[in-house]
Structure 1
Amino acid sequence: MKFFRTLGYLWLGLVLMGCAFEHSRPLKVATNLWPGYEPLYLAQYLGTYGKSVGIIQLASATEVMRAMAHGNVDAAAISLDEAILLMAKGMDLVVLMALDHSRGGHAVVASAGTKGGLEGLRIGVENTAQGAVVLSEALSQAGLQFSDINMVSLSPDEHEDAFLQGQVDAVVTTEPVKTRLLSKGGRVLFDTSQAPELVVNVLVARQASLRAYPKQYETLIAGYREARAFMLSHRSEAEVFFCKRLQLDEEQLRRAFSGIYLPSEQDNLNWLSGNPSPYTKSFHRVLDVMKARNLVQGSPVPKPPPDWVLEVSS
């Protein structure tokens, strides 16, 4: 009897240890390469996350969405339209904050040898909601349809080579590739400065993960805010870090960041607050664009973030 009691205590201890480990494991947060996500990596570089958070860079937004869909990560930095797409497929996601608003950072860039506008061009684009949304808006403003162009499916890591090797006439691309292509003779046919609020990049979390690991998420948000403060107080050091990661020189880096707006804590508070909030309005505007282009099925509903996310530190 004593043996079985001891065995029971041992089993209970192992279960409790497992629970403690599970609730103390680091969050896994996925992103692709994009200037607006760099403060997350700066926070990791500065050590503000400790062992509570791990930021993982994947090759493309498609891979980030796949990692979320398969449950391989807890949270992700994705565009609002990509978040809507995942929600429409049944994922229980919460938008925690806006990481950046694209104001020229997403663009349709054509090669120097092309003339005129979009019509008839071979246009390389990643086969995701974001690429399709940007391209559909560009076509709409030009009075064209998808049938007026030749779409070529390309992952982001193929954009630059395909463009420079003449495999496509234009690409729907983002920073830092956009800046590199412009430095090699590319010209902008459309960018998100012509469609404010069309592309908002956000930090999203699984609802279940958010409930299970609130302390880790608080560390994630606090670390991000520390990195943003570091960007102001140690600008040169932050720029060196970003240049290395994005493979840009200083002037190219400044041009890349000029195409996005990084919201402050107060900006995010304003964006997420109200009834309806600016976030809710952006959500439905992007959803309407996606529905009009048959990019999404269903009508997902935006959920408010936890109250603590709305607290602006003094």
Structure 2
Amino acid sequence: MLLNRRRFLTASLALPLLTACGPPQPLIRVAGIVWVGYEPLFLARELGLLDEESIRLVEMPSNTASLMALASGEVEAATLTLDECLLAREGGLDVRAILVFDDSAGADVIMARPTIRHPAELAGKRIGLEETAAGALMLSKTLEIAGLKPEDVIKVPLTADRQLAAWQENEVDALVSYEPHATQLEALGARRLLDSRAFPGLIVDVLVARRSALEATPATFRALLAGHFAALRHLRQQPWDAATRMAPRMGIAPDAVLAALRGVRLMDVAANRAWLAADPPRLVAAADRVVEIMRANGLIKGPVHTGDLADPRFLPRAT
């Protein structure tokens, strides 16, 4: 069972941080899941573009786990969706967004049994989703399109790492999924019912970090972002080589990697400056819209300050 998001964030803030004792450590740990939009960061590790002595990417089974690790101080940074970042801030975490990975444009998907042909046919069905993550937001908008209420469906709390098993064991009729899991589910007979193209600007992926860590090790965070953008350039210049390197971690073939990448708009340095450094930052406007949607759907209740969310100090110079 998933922990209540407010309870685990509030409780975790009461725990001592792992870095609180002794001198500051130069190592920064970044929690991340397998998601097509985050893969350029992990490609940077594969290409040897990250200093392993100062940067460690910590692979997590779900964004819920990433949030918990960030809240408890087990990591200094995490790859999250914008709505998850807002949940963290609502829970009292002083985190800033220092990088925008992507805007989902088809890679977040409602996968369903072949007999379900229309969103309205989700009524009475068991829908697996990660309720502390973007899945709850995606489902809320899908039900809105279908003309259904939350009580019209049966929600099955399910982290991403359990999706394939739950599908194979017939525990669910539909899943709020994303790439590469959506491609893997499709191979098992699931069909794509609806994707994030129906909700432009709803799901944005960001790299967030604790403000204290940013102030303690600014050079390391600059190196982290430089490695990410170098890997992104490699992906654009040598897509097949990059896809071949990314395929094992994603668990799909290189050609499927390239297909999955078409479902996200990856943000280069110039785009990141527009999202983080413009006056006002585009990310803040997007965050305010997401807060309104989340509040309307009961996904967020407390105040969320977004004015200082975007932190562009660690971006490379635009080229």
Contact 2:277 2:311 in 1 (8 A): no
1:24 and 1:151 map into 2 onto residues whose CA distance is: 42
For residues 146-167 of structure 1, give each alpha carbon's deviation from its aligned partner in whole angstroms, at most 9, with x where no partner exists.
1111111112111112123322
Q: Distance in 2 between matches of 1:310 and 1:237?
A: 26
- Alignment-mate amino acid for residue 288 of structure 1: E
User: Unmatched 5+ residue regions in structure 2?
Assistant: 1-18
- In the other structure, the counterpart of 1:312 is 317
Aligned residues: 296
SS in 1 for 2:103: strand
Matches for 1:30-179 after TM superposition, within 5 Å: 30-50=31-51, 51-116=53-118, 117-179=121-183
- Residues 262-303 of structure 1, C-alpha deviations (whole Å, 9 max, x = no match): 111111111123333221111011111111111112222221
Instruction: Select 1:239's aligned residue among 213, 238, 243.
Output: 243
- Cα separation, 1, equivalents of 2:129 and 2:312: 38
Q: 1:147–1:205: structure 2 CA closer, same or farther, 3 Å change rule? A: same
Question: Which string of whole-angstrom CA distances, capped at 9 and with x for unpartnered residues, describes residues 66-111 of structure 1?
Answer: 0011011001100000000000011101101111111111111101
- Segments of 5+ residues of structure 1 without an aligned counterpart are 1-17
Larger radius of gyration: 1
Name whichever of 220-229 and 157-166 sits farther off: 157-166
1:173 and 1:304 mapped to 2: Cα distance?
27
Equivalence for 1:276: 280
Residue in 2 that maps onto 1:208: 212
**1 CA distance for matches of 2:154 and 2:115?**
17
- Pairwise CA distance, 1:22: 4.3
Whether the aligned pair in 1 keeps the contact of 2:110 and 2:175 (CA below 8 Å) is yes
Report Cα offsets for 1:230-251 as digits up to 9, x if no partner.
Answer: 2123322211111111111123
TM-score normalised by length of structure 1:
0.89
1:41: Cα distance to partner? Answer: 1.1
Q: Which range moves more in the overlay, 176-185 or 134-143?
A: 176-185
Q: Give the TM-score normalised by structure 2.
A: 0.88
In structure 2, distance between residues paired with 1:78 and 1:97: 11
Residue 305 of structure 1, CA deviation: 4.1
Question: 279-288 or 297-306, which moves further after superposition?
Answer: 297-306
Q: State the Cα distance separating 1:193 from its structure 2 match.
A: 0.6
CA contact (8 A) 1:31 1:77 kept: yes
| Alpha-carbon distance between aligned partners in 2 of 1:37 and 1:251, rounded to the nearest angstrom | 18
Q: Which amino acid aligns with 1:263?
A: M
**Contact 1:52–1:216 at 8 Å: present in 2 too?**
yes
1:186-233 deviations in Å (ceiling 9; x for gaps)? 222221110011110100010011001111111111111111112123
In 1, the alpha carbon distance for the partners of 2:44 and 2:23 equals 23
Alignment partner, residue 3 of structure 1: none
- In the TM superposition, 1:211-222 aligns within 5 A as 211-222=215-226
Query: Is this contact kept in 2: 1:118–1:189, CA < 8 A?
Result: no
Q: Percent identity?
A: 32
Q: Name the CA shift for 1:306/1:296 in 2 (closer, same or farther; >3 Å).
A: closer
The question of whether the paired residues in 2 share the 8 Å contact of 1:61 and 1:78 is answered with yes
Query: Residue 289 of structure 1 aligns with which residue?
Result: 293
Q: Rate the CA distance shift 1:278–1:168 in 2: closer, same or farther, 3 A.
A: same
Contact 1:269 1:312 in 2 (8 A): no
Distance in 2 between the 1:153 and 1:306 partners?
Answer: 33
> How far, CA to CA, are the matches of 2:218 and 2:102 in structure 1?
23
What RMSD over aligned residues (CA atoms) do the two structures have, in Å? 1.9
Q: CA deviation at 1:177?
A: 0.9
The secondary structure found in structure 1 opposite 2:37 is helix
Richer in helix (by share): 1
Q: What's the CA shift string for 1:92-131, capped at 9, x where partnerless?
A: 0110111111111111110113354321211111121411
Aligned to 2:13: none
| Alpha carbons of structure 1 residues 163 and 95: separation in structure 2 relative to 1, 3 Å | same
